[in-house]
């Protein structure tokens, strides 16, 4: 059967989950509508989601339209949970971006649309809540064209907006204004269509233009705008028809090797990890033994596929479908299942978390249980990046915002019975190389205590390139396991540079390698004191890498947000000095009638302070939005992430101390 994997994306409170519920009801999957307010929706299954009325984890539901199986993925709208959105983007054939007819385009809407356009994901825009008091679909459509993308076209009109009687009427093919809008938009992206119009404009009939609209929508060149109400059902039938008519329906090959990607991890009541897998090719059958992640294999012990709003047990899952797979062991989000899907990438679509806090258990005796619980939560959201400082054993997590902190606190209490508090939230910085550096430790040459030779050269990489590990020695000069140990430890060590922050955009080249082959005394058994092991390389690598980093030098950089502020004209003179005191740097200030629009940059650590001050300064009329833009060097003394208890003047002891802190090893074989 043909398949279509569609993501529902929106800013918070746009009615995204209610729309998912209405879609399921309209296609006959559910007999009774659930309510976000009552906590009875199909996709908000977590108790916390029902209590707060927000989506925290992405959820999948499935239904059939004609001969197409539609997998609908409901994603969070709150920016604190943008990581959930990130994990599903690579799985999607198309997107429905929901915008409220009352609130209009919000900061999160702009972030999402920029990403969708960059990824060239086919996108329909649905203007929801046309029945709500204050709804103005025409204003919102103009806002969409001005602030999201000009490549949009409305497909119908709304009668009686802002009332319970609001209804959506599609434009007929005979409507000359609609045909003119379609023609102007579509010929701008298709020279052949333009030439056809020039030769004989009568050939561009309504049917011909609708075919071109579908083709250009599937190529993400244009974005049809529909409207309706998830509460009354107005316009929802038209949206269902548009899903299969305008988005790219696929029939992927079920033959060939199985290829899928894990995008979500859950634990069932028995504590077993269950992996959500999007299949891109081939077929996975019960009891299949498949490669999973790097160098591991696992046996599939259970398969559940999504069907009519729920899941059912199955013997197999084919390409194009989404399934729950049991038995994959310690599989992680992002791991391939079977062959790696063609074109798969680890590229990030959104900025990483820019905040960090220390989690403090109410009882000191719960520290070990807290670390284990947070590690399990990190399976579901790896970007919380659980980190334990070895000396004081303080546990830190990375966050996108204060709401996420509250969610972590509630999950720890509800799932694990752990009461916790948080220290003050701080900004997560990064370290970037100031130059190049190298270091080497040679086997058998004091004071190297390990049976390994490791030489490393570090150099800055292009912005956004991450960590690149290269070999400057012959691949056959050591057993592969030793090279693997070095590379894995390099990546682990770079999570904390000389100032304690993650080192980004760096090229690490292994310049020296050496080992002692497996040997023993005469007629004796293997003697590890005479033979190199992977542990020697794991212990030595942090020491050499830190020495190379110190010689290269690193600078600490803080995250900076780009902001847009709409402020009443009479409040501008009061707001600008406050922005300056909070280190916000306006770049442009433009008058728009009774408002001024101020755009500029502000350090991420100051965003919440700006948001707190604006309501009192502007009578609550200011509209402030910000998104991550770039990193910049910290002014003054660089902040350190962890306290060092060793005197750095003793280079050898200093590096050993850093190696112990980073890896948790004691420097022993």
pLDDT at residue number 348? 59
Strand 502-503 with 430-433, pairing: parallel
Lowest mean pLDDT among 259-268, 344-353, 563-572: 344-353
- Residue 531 tokens read as 């033979």
What is the model's pLDDT at position 150?
93
- What's the pLDDT score for residue 362? 92
Q: Is the pLDDT of residue 196 over 50?
A: yes
Q: What is the pLDDT of residue 282?
A: 92
- Confidence band, pLDDT 50/70/90 cuts, at residue 406: confident
What confidence tens digit (pLDDT) does each residue in 87-109 have? 888 889 999 999 999 999 887 88
627 DSSP β-pair partners: 562
Is the confidence at residue 387, as pLDDT, over 90? no
Question: In whole angstroms, what is the distance from residue 8 CA to residue 55 CA?
Answer: 12
pLDDT of residue 663: 46
DSSP track, 4-33: EEEEEEESTTSSHHHHHHHHHHHTTS-SS-
Confidence grade of residue 629 (pLDDT, cut at 50, 70, 90): confident
Question: Which range, of 235-239, 249-253, 537-541, averages the lowest pLDDT?
Answer: 249-253
Give the pLDDT score at 389.
73
303-342, pLDDT tens digit by residue?
A: 999 887 788 999 999 998 999 999 998 888 888 898 877 6
Provide mean pLDDT across the span 360-365. 92
For 257, the token pair is 């090797």
Least confident of 4-18, 49-63, 281-295: 49-63
First vs last C-alpha separation in the chain = 57
Q: What is the percentage of the chain residues whose pLDDT exceeds 70? A: 88
Does residue 646 register a pLDDT over 50? no
Q: What pLDDT is attached to residue 118?
A: 86
* pLDDT on residue 286: 94
So what's the pLDDT on residue 528? 57
Does 652 have pLDDT greater than 80? no
Q: What's the pLDDT band for 640 if we cut at 50, 70, 90?
A: confident
- pLDDT the model gives residue 39: 54
Query: 107-119 and 82-89 helices cross at what angle (nearest 10)?
Result: 20
Does the pLDDT of residue 658 top 90, yes or no?
A: no
Residue 669 pLDDT: 40
What pLDDT is stored for residue 414 in this prediction? Answer: 87
| Average pLDDT for 621-640 | 85
**pLDDT the model gives residue 360:** 93
Q: Is the pLDDT of residue 437 over 80?
A: yes
Model confidence at 651: pLDDT above 70:
no
H or E element at residue 107: helix 107-119
Residue 197 confidence class, pLDDT cut points 50, 70, 90: confident
What is the model's pLDDT at position 310? Answer: 80
3-state SS track over 559-611:
EEEEEEEEEEHHHHHHHHHHHHHCCCEEEEEEEECCEEEEEEEEEHHHHHHHH
- Rounded to the nearest integer, the mean pLDDT of the chain is 86
pLDDT score for 642: 56
**Peptide bond between residue 447 and the one before it cis (omega within 30 degrees of 0):** yes
Would you call 500 exposed, middle or buried from its count of C-beta atoms within 10 A (0-12, 13-18, 19+)?
Answer: buried
pLDDT of residue 666: 35
The per-residue pLDDT for 50 is 56
Average pLDDT over residues 155-165: 94
3-class secondary structure, 490: helix
């Amino acid at each position: 059967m043909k398949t279509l994997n569609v993501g529902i994306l929106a800013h918070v409170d746009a009615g995204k989950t209610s729309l998912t519920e209405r879609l399921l009801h309209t296609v006959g999957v559910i007999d009774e509508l659930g309510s976000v307010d009552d906590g009875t929706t199909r996709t908000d299954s977590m108790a916390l989601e029902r209590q707060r009325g927000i989506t925290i984890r992405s959820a999948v539901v499935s239904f059939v339209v004609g001969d197409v199986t539609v997998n609908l993925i409901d994603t969070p709208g709150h920016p604190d949970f943008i990581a959930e959105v990130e994990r599903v983007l690579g799985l999607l054939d198309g997107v429905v971006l929901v915008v409220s007819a009352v609130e209009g385009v919000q900061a999160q809407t702009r972030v999402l649309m920029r990403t969708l356009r960059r990824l060239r994901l086919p996108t329909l825009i649905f203007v929801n809540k046309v029945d709500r008091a204050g709804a103005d679909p025409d204003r919102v459509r103009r806002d969409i064209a001005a602030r999201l993308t000009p490549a949009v076209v409305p497909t119908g009109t709304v009668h009686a907006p802002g009332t319970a009687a609001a209804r959506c009427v599609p434009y007929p093919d005979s409507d000359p204004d609609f045909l003119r809008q379609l023609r102007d938009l579509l010929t701008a992206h298709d020279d052949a269509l333009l030439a056809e119009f020039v030769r004989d404009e009568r050939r561009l009939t309504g049917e011909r233009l609708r075919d071109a609209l579908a083709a250009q929508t599937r190529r993400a060149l244009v974005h049809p705008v529909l409207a309706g109400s998830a509460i009354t059902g107005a316009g929802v039938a038209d949206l269902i028809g548009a899903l299969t008519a305008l988005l790219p329906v696929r029939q992927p090959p079920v033959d060939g090797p199985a290829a899928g990607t894990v995008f979500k991890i859950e634990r069932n009541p028995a504590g077993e990890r269950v992996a959500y897998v999007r299949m891109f090719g081939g077929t996975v059958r019960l009891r299949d033994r498949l490669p999973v992640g790097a160098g591991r294999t696992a046996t599939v012990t259970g398969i559940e596929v999504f069907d009519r709003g729920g899941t059912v047990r199955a013997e197999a899952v084919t390409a194009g479908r989404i399934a729950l797979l049991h038995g994959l062991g310690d599989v992680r989000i992002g791991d391939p299942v079977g062959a790696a899907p063609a074109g798969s990438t680890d590229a990030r679509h959104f900025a990483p978390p820019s905040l960090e806090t220390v989690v403090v258990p109410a009882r000191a005796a719960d520290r070990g249980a807290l670390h284990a619980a947070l590690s399990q939560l990190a399976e579901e959201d790896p970007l919380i990046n659980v980190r334990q400082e070895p000396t004081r054993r303080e546990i830190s997590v990375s966050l996108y915002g204060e709401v996420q902190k509250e969610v972590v606190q509630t999950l720890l209490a509800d799932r694990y019975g752990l009461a916790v508090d948080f220290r003050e939230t701080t900004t997560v910085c990064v370290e970037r190389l100031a130059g190049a550096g190298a270091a080497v430790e040679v086997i058998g040459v004091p004071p190297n205590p390990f049976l390994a030779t490791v030489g490393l050269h570090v150099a800055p990489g292009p912005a956004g390139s991450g960590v690149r590990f290269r070999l400057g020695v012959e691949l056959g000069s050591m057993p592969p396991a030793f090279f693997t140990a070095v590379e894995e430890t390099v990546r682990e060590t770079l999570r904390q540079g000389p100032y304690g922050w993650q080192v980004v955009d760096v090229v690490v080249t292994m310049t020296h390698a050496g080992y002692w082959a497996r040997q023993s005394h005469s007629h004796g058994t293997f003697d590890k004191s005479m033979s190199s092991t992977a542990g020697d390389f794991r212990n030595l690598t942090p020491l050499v890498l830190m020495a190379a980093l110190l010689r290269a030098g690193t600078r600490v950089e803080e995250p900076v947000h780009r902001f847009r502020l709409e402020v009443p004209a009479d409040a501008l003179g009061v707001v600008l000095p406050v922005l300056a005191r909070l280190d916000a740097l306006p770049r442009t200030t433009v008058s728009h009638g009774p408002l001024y629009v101020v755009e500029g940059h502000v350090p991420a650590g100051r965003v919440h302070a700006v948001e707190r001050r604006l309501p009192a300064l502007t009578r609550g009329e200011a509209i402030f939005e910000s998104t991550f833009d770039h990193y910049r060097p910290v002014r003054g003394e660089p902040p350190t992430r962890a306290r060092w208890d060793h005197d750095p003047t003793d280079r050898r002891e200093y590096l050993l101390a850093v190696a112990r802190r980073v890896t948790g090893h004691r420097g022993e074989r």
